[in-house]
């Protein structure tokens, strides 16, 4: 979720959202024609509200996704820098992995990539971006968890 002021500037995002503002949610689905259709079909009021807010703030879905990713990236980089220091951060190779729904076509994936670039995720040196399907990401997370559980058992 994101909240904007009357100038179209982000005022809050994520769990720190300012409830008194008109916040935008479900915007990622608008990167995909299929997602847009399904949102309108199954959640028509939500789809109408999203369209109204996009029009009000003069934003395209790619702009809103970019704004969200920029907030997330800023928070992540500040957290990482605080832990490892500026020098190590500047010389660290970063691999950013964004998940996309498995049903997304090439155009929706490219809009996700464009949003990430607009957000500045690729601005630093030694940074790569990879898009993977959500089912693949879930499977990899499960395999990593299984591996960690086995390692814990071996250490005991």
Distance of alpha carbon 40 from alpha carbon 48, whole angstroms: 8
What pLDDT is attached to residue 153? 58
Mean predicted confidence (pLDDT) in 46-71: 94
How far is the CA of 142 from the CAs of 44, 121, 131, 133, in angstroms?
Answer: 34, 26, 18, 15
Least confident stretch, 13-22, 75-84, 114-123: 13-22
Question: Contact at 8 Å (CB) between 2 and 24?
Answer: yes
- The predicted-structure confidence for 131-154, as pLDDT tens digits, reads as follows 999 988 888 888 877 776 766 554
Residue 41, domain extent: 2-155
Q: Which residue has the higher pLDDT, 133 or 156?
A: 133
Q: How many CA atoms lie within 13 A of 20 on its CB side?
A: 0
Distance of alpha carbon 106 from alpha carbon 108, whole angstroms: 6
Q: What's the number of domains the chain is made of?
A: 1
Question: Contact at 8 Å (CB) between 100 and 133?
Answer: yes
pLDDT at 29 over 80: yes
Least confident stretch, 35-39, 96-100, 139-143: 139-143
């Amino acid at each position: 979720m994101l909240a904007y002021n009357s100038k179209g500037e982000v005022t809050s995002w994520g769990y720190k959202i300012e409830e008194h503002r008109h916040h935008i949610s479900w915007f990622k689905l608008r990167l995909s024609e299929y997602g847009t259709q399904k949102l309108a079909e199954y959640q028509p009021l939500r789809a109408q509200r999203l369209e109204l807010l996009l029009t009000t703030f003069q934003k395209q879905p790619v702009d809103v996704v970019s704004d969200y990713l920029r907030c997330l990236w800023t928070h992540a980089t500040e957290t990482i820098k605080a832990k490892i220091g500026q020098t190590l951060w500047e010389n660290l190779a970063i691999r950013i992995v964004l998940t996309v729904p498995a049903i997304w076509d090439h155009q929706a994936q490219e809009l996700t990539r464009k949003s990430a670039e607009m957000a500045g995720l690729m601005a630093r040196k030694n940074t790569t971006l990879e898009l993977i399907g959500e089912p693949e990401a879930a499977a990899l997370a499960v395999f990593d968890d299984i591996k960690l559980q086995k390692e814990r058992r071996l250490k005991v």
